[in-house]
Structure formats: C-alpha cells, structure tokens
Amino acid sequence: MSDPTELPGESASGGARRGRGGGGGGREARRALRTGGGIKQRRFIERKLSPFEILSEEGLAIIEQNADIILEEVGIEFRDDAEALQILKEAGCDVEGERVRFPRGFCRKIIRENAPATFTQHARNPERSVTIGGNATVFAPVYGPPFVRDLNGERRYATIEDFQNLVKLAYMSPALHHSGGTVCEPVDVPVNKRHLDMVYSHIRYSDKPFMGSVTAPERAEDSVALAKIVFGDDFVENNTVMINLINANSPMTFDGTMLGALKVYARHNQAVIVTPFILSGAMAPCTPAGVMAQTLAEAMAGIALAQLVRPGAPCVFGSFASSMSMQSGAPTFGTPEPAMVLYGCAALARRLGIPFRSGGSLCGSKLPDAQAAYESAATLQPTVLGGVNFVLHAAGWLEGGLVSSFEKLVMDADQLGMMQTFAEGPDLSENGQAMDAIREVGPGQHFLGCAHTQANFETAFYRSNVADNNSYEQWLAEGSLDAAQRTNNLVRKMLEEYEAPVLDPAVDEALNSFIAKAKESMPDAFA
C-alpha cells in the first residue's frame, strides 16, 4: 500500500496528519519523481509573477456589487434537493419554492470565514501531492468528451481503453500535475458502473492526484470508498484526496444531481469546484462584465452551501465561459471575451480568498491544427498569467469538448511545460545576469564557446518534444510531417514505453474486490 504519510509538502487543509511526516528524500524519492520513459515529473507551479489584472479595484467592486444584487434580488434555484433548501433556510436565507434569496453579504461572509484559502490535494505518491490556491497552479487534462479522435485519425465514441491511454499519457507528461477525472467518457462501460472503472484507472495507471465521480450522490460515495482503500479511512475524512467538478446549471440554477454530489464530497472533506458553465449569450448575458457577475453569484451560492454542510470543506471558485458563433450558435473558444472573463473572475476569487479554477487549452477545432493551437494558446496564456489555481482541460481538449485527442494532449502538455518555465520568471542571480560572459566575449565575437554558455547551455532553453526546429532539408528528408503527424508518432512511442507506477498488490486487490462487488449489485444501464 502506498504510504500517504510521507508527505513532503505542507498540509494547508488543516486536517490531521498521520505518521512520520518525513521528506521522503534519497534515491527512492528521486526514482518516484520519474515516470516511465525516464521523464522527470515537474512539481506543481509556484508562480513567482504577479497576475495580470484586467479590472481596477473600482471595476471589481462593481462586479461584486452586481453579484450581491443577483443573490439578494434574483436568487438562485436549488432544484430537487429538499435537504439543501432546508439547510439554506435554517441558515437564514429566504426560500420560496426552490428559489433561494440570500441576505446581502451572506455568502461572502460564510466563505471568507470558513473556506480555506489553499489546501493540499494528496496523491498516492506523496511527491505528486499538489497545493490548490495561492500562487500555485495545477494542470489537469481534459474532462468530459464522449468521443476520441484515435491514433488512426478516426473520430468515434470513447472506450475504457482510450480512458486508460489518456491517463497513461497524462502520467507521462511532466507538466501535467494531475490525472484529472473523466478524461473521456468510456461509453463501452455501463453508465452506472463507469465511475468505478474511471476512478480505478486513475489509481492504477497513474500516481498523480485525481478527481471523483459527480454523476450521482452514490457514485460520489463509491469514489470516496475507493479513495479510502488507497489512503485509509481517517486520512480521507481529515484530508483532501479528491477534487470534484460541481457545475451550476446556469443561469442561476443548481440541479439535484450536482447538489447531491456536492454534499457528499463536502461531508467527506473532499474538494468541490463550483463552476457556472456558461455559453455567453445563452446561459448568461453576452457581455464579459455580465458573465463575471453571474458567475460570481452562482459560485458563491454553491460554495456557501458546501460551507454550511461542512465548515472548512475545501472549495474552489470555478468559471467556464465561452463565446458563441453567430453563424451556428456553437460555443467558440480562444476569443477575447472569455479571456476577459477569466482575468476578471481570477481577481474576484483572490478577493474572495479562495482558490480559482478556469481556463485550459480550449478550442473549437475538429483537428489538432493551427486553429486548435491558436485557440488553446489564447486560453492558456490568460490561464497562467491570470493566476488560475486549478486548470482543468489543460491538455487534450478538441472540438469544443466533444473530443479527447491523444495528439492534442501531448502537444498541449508541451505548452504547459513552457508556461511552467515562464511562470518561474527570469533568473536574476549572478549567473543569470551573465556579466562575466559579456565581459569575456566582447564585441563581434560569439558566445557559443564561452565558459558561461558551456555551463548553462543544457538547461538554458525550454526543450520542446513536439516542435521541429531542424533545417528545412532535414525536415523534408524526414517526411515533411506537420506537428500533428509528428505527435502521432510520439504518442505511439509514449504508450509503448509506458510503465505503470508501483501499486501495492493488496491495495489493488481490495480495489478490484470492491468494484466487482459494487458492479454485481447493479444491473447494467446505458442511459
């Protein structure tokens, strides 16, 4: 059994810490840092740069005031969840049918007084545990697509094998700090049993932190039960080992399924990301400032409920906002308006004092082509510069989230690596200033052979595993492949070289036994 007591980082969640608490140093730890293929995993990002701000203090105060007005005057609907309505009523909210109106300042006060500013999500490999919040940024892969574009270029429904392969690729990507959740929908597994295979795949094929199921309260309970087999009962109840995506049914509505999952996870001290999922112009106004206010209101309402369920439960303010095609009504990505929403909401989350989730490598393109890359970069840059803490869809997203792409996952992960290096900022040490080199070389000479270059060259520049920077002639000789074609080859090679992280056979057996029993108890369901 993996020992979650060897935790190198600080536990910010305030939970009890078992055991030795050592740093896990030495050869074993270094080995644990490497994945199959000898790739060195990178720790989550600790940004050294201040976030880019798009709104002044005054502008942010306007948005906050508007969110308060929405909560107080318009209200939020909590559907099909009498318990949630009861909790909110007892806390002093005005409940009228399923509509809940919040006293002015109610949500902000509860959140600020209870929700942690940062927390640790523990991984079964303690070297891979992540901090969520503050100046930390954690990249997780794509979430939710029912389709994959497979390695033969076919777009088809996803399977559990695709799921496992995506988990393996994320495991082997040094700048993906997290294994994610529904990296694709394995539609070959019955819908009521799928969550078991998904959670198991994350545990078995990766040792990075992962997400639980939210598609029904009992599936959330199953996710917690599986986590307890890995981490131990007490540890799970007093720490955070899963982070879970609770989407609002915008505008201004939560449905019973999401509320049920939210309550389960909050009660077990597992993190919830409360995310208004907004196609601007359809589920919110078509202006960035309108989307920001509505997003803040919805997120605060959901997070306030979580804090009432268990004060101090780790919560993340989520925002997902896309623009819309005027031609087709389809969501569009990489446009300037969602970037504005992202920067604005990131600042609002900082003011609220809790972690923020948004962004990723979003795109509408059908293929991992230039459109996909432009659009993904136009979301990823704001994600990092805006200071997003937890980044779902950081790699692998295609076609507006309908498709998970193996190539795109690996291409995006390369970009994530660049952003991670960027976020560390320039080195201003004496070596970084390099004045010795300039003095040594002087006018008209070159720096290739000087001592400073020789000493630093290996690590001086980010090395992409996707980009081709060879001569035109060599590129021709190698088949004139575009980035997607080259990455297809790379993905095949990675999957061949994949080595599973060690998992205690007893834990594996216990997981499989739990899953078999749970599956036996239900008939298959596919809808």
The interface with a second copy within residues 434-493 (CB under 8 A) comprises: 434-435, 437-439, 441-448, 452-453, 456-458, 460-464, 466-472, 474-475, 480, 482-484
Binders of a second copy among residues 95 to 134 (CB under 8 A) are: 99
Residues 342-371: x where in contact with a second copy by CB under 8 A, - otherwise, as a string: --x-------------------xxxxxxxx
Instruction: Give the number of other Cβ atoms within 10 Å of residue 364's Cβ.
Output: 23
Considering only 10-18, 70-78, 181-189, 345-353, which stretch makes contact with a second copy by CB under 8 A?
70-78
- Based on DSSP, count helices (H) and strands (E) in the chain, helices before strands: 19, 20
Residues 6+ apart with CB under 8 A from 83: 263
Instruction: Give the number of other Cβ atoms within 10 Å of residue 429's Cβ.
Output: 8
Of the pair 18, 99, the CB lying nearest a second copy is at: 99
Of the pair 120, 332, the CB lying nearest a second copy is at: 332
What sign for the dihedral angle of Cα 472, 475, 477, 480? negative
Residue from 26, 92, 432, 523 in contact with a second copy (CB under 8 A): 432
Q: How far is CA 117 from the centre of its chain?
A: 17
Tokens 């009962």 found at: 233
Of the candidates 361, 358, 367, 364, which has an alpha carbon nearest to the alpha carbon of residue 332?
Answer: 364
Residue from 26, 327, 479, 517 in contact with a second copy (CB under 8 A): 327
Determine, following the binding rule CB under 8 A, whether residue 312 of this chain makes contact with a second copy: no
Determine, following the binding rule CB under 8 A, whether residue 69 of this chain makes contact with a second copy: yes
Residue 52's identity, in one-letter code, is: F
Determine, following the binding rule CB under 8 A, whether residue 302 of this chain makes contact with a second copy: no
Binders of a second copy among residues 178 to 237 (CB under 8 A) are: none
CB hemisphere CA count around 303 (13 angstroms):
37
Nearest distance, CB of residue 47 and a second copy, angstroms: 11
Determine, following the binding rule CB under 8 A, whether residue 431 of this chain makes contact with a second copy: yes
Determine, following the binding rule CB under 8 A, whether residue 152 of this chain makes contact with a second copy: no
Determine, following the binding rule CB under 8 A, whether residue 287 of this chain makes contact with a second copy: yes
Nearest distance, CB of residue 339 and a second copy, angstroms: 6
289, two tokens: 């400032």
Considering only 160-168, 182-190, 395-403, 507-515, which stretch makes contact with a second copy by CB under 8 A?
395-403
Considering only 84-92, 182-190, 224-232, 431-439, which stretch makes contact with a second copy by CB under 8 A?
431-439
Taking each helix axis as running N to C, give the angle between helix 370-385 and helix 406-423, from 0 to 180 degrees, rounded to the nearest 10.
30
Tokens 């979430």 found at: 143
Residues 486-525: x where in contact with a second copy by CB under 8 A, - otherwise, as a string: ----------------------------------------
Nearest distance, CB of residue 178 and a second copy, angstroms: 21
Quote the Cα angle for 521-526-527, to 5°. 115
For residue 148, the SS3 value is strand
Residue from 176, 245, 373, 391 in contact with a second copy (CB under 8 A): 373
Instruction: Give the number of other Cβ atoms within 10 Å of residue 367's Cβ.
Output: 18
Tokens 């009992």 found at: 218
Instruction: Give the number of other Cβ atoms within 10 Å of residue 156's Cβ.
Output: 14
Nearest distance, CB of residue 12 and a second copy, angstroms: 26
Q: Does an H or E element contain 398, and which?
A: strand 397-398
Binders of a second copy among residues 236 to 255 (CB under 8 A) are: 249, 251-253
22, two tokens: 């050592």
Q: Which phi and psi angles does 380 have, rounded to 5°?
A: -65, -40
117, two tokens: 């500013």
Nearest distance, CB of residue 50 and a second copy, angstroms: 7
Nearest distance, CB of residue 413 and a second copy, angstroms: 12
Nearest distance, CB of residue 258 and a second copy, angstroms: 14
Of the pair 123, 347, the CB lying nearest a second copy is at: 347
Distance CA 75, CA 61 (A): 20
Binders of a second copy among residues 26 to 55 (CB under 8 A) are: 49-50, 52-55
